Amino acid sequence: MANILEILTLVSGALLTLLILVQSRGASLGAGFGGSSELHTERRGVDKTMHQFTIMVAVVFVLSIVLSVIS
Residues contacting 35, CB < 8 A, separation 6+: 28
The C-alpha atoms of residue 4 and residue 51 are separated, in whole angstroms, by 26
Domains in the chain: boundaries: 1-20+45-71
pLDDT in tens, 11-45: 999 999 999 998 876 555 555 555 555 666 677 78
pLDDT at 67: 93
pLDDT in tens, 35-44: 555 666 677 7
The C-alpha atoms of residue 65 and residue 59 are separated, in whole angstroms, by 10
| pTM, 2 dp | 0.73
